[in-house]
Amino acid sequence: MELRPLGTSDIKISPIIMGTWQAGKAMWVGIDDNESIKAIKAAYDAGITTFDTAEVYGNGHSEKIVGNALHDMRGRVVIATKVFSNHLKYKQVINACHKSLKNLNTDYIDLYQIHWPPGSFGSKHVPLEETMRAMADLKAQGKILVVGVSNFSRSQLKEAVKYGRIDSLQPPYSLFWRKVETDAWPYCLENNITLLAYSSMAQGLLTGKFGPNHKFDRGDHRSNNKLFQPEHYKRAQKALDKLRPIADDKNITLGQLALAWVISQPGICAIAGARDAEQATQNADATNVRLSDEELAVINEIGKMVTDHLDDDPVMWK
């Protein structure tokens, strides 16, 4: 798998990144720790070198699973984690980082990200200057190598870079969710900031595995995803019907087509979760898919069947 630069840093990342929100179990249903570990190892065996987690995923449980799975190959992988919006004061960032280091069973974090902007989810608004000062000190101590942000708008990103180098932005981005295209993406391209697209398969919607009458189990947070609400869900099903012949013609899955479309966009890598080893391997194989300019344009138009009807709110969940 051909690696790509992470911003302006010396770190190289895989175009498909394994996301491990589901490994934290909280807000997901039917997740097994052993299967999560097997999925992470299978992703590595298939060429994925980059793994994304966060302190808030199961209150550190995801980080522990990642640390367990990757301990033997630590020097050959890139680990990214995040500090949550309720831990953005200077000492809180330092303490959160130390806890993540312990959870991950490592002495450094390759990419440390601010998970949500200050003030999110009712948290106290902390000046970005204070948070970035903590990031700079952690970087100077070698505990983190690169700083990134997640869910930041263009204006919030421009504010953050006043206080230090930002090498990545992690926004929701898929064929069915493209708010960042008209906001932060152009700025990122101009400033060599890599986009790490999360929900790159629209939380499974773009895999085509959810039928017209699908109902999520109680406790599955995806029931609150705007794309799964009736008016958008019906449009998504029609769009998937148009995408299937393209995937079938290439002998690939719909999910692989969705991932291939994302990583074909300049400056963007795709974060993809997996419940088991088979899903992880399928995700990695998306890097072998080649889409012509004509195919990309057709897929782009199909995606607009969904995105043209969404409002301007950048948050995916109700």
Nearest by Cα to 200 from 305, 270, 275: 270
Amino acid 27 reads M
pLDDT over 90 (residue 202): yes
Give bridge partners of residue 79 from the DSSP assignment. 51
User: Given pLDDT bands bounded at 50, 70 and 90, which one contains residue 216?
Assistant: confident
What's the CATH architecture for 4-210+251-291? Alpha-Beta Barrel (3.20)
Nearest by Cα to 21 from 271, 277, 225: 271
Backbone angles phi, psi at 100, to 5 degrees: -65, -40
CA angle 311, 20, 174 (to 5 degrees): 30
How is residue 152 written in tokens?
């930041």
220-234 pLDDT tens trace: 878 888 898 888 999
Listed in sequence order, the residues at least 6 apart from 154 whose beta carbon sits closer than 8 Å to its beta carbon are 183, 184, 187
Nearest by Cα to 259 from 251, 246, 269: 269
Locate the domains of the chain by residue range.
4-210+251-291
Catalytic residues: 57
5-44 pLDDT tens trace: 999 999 999 999 999 999 999 999 999 999 999 999 999 9
Over range 108-136, report the average pLDDT: 97
Is 227 strand, coil or helix? helix
The phi-psi region of residue 199 (left if phi > 0; otherwise alpha if psi is between -120 and 50; otherwise beta) is left
What does the alpha-carbon distance between residue 263 and residue 271 come to, in Å, rounded to a whole number?
A: 10
Q: Using an 8 Å Cβ cutoff, are 143 and 116 in contact?
A: no
pTM of the model: 0.96
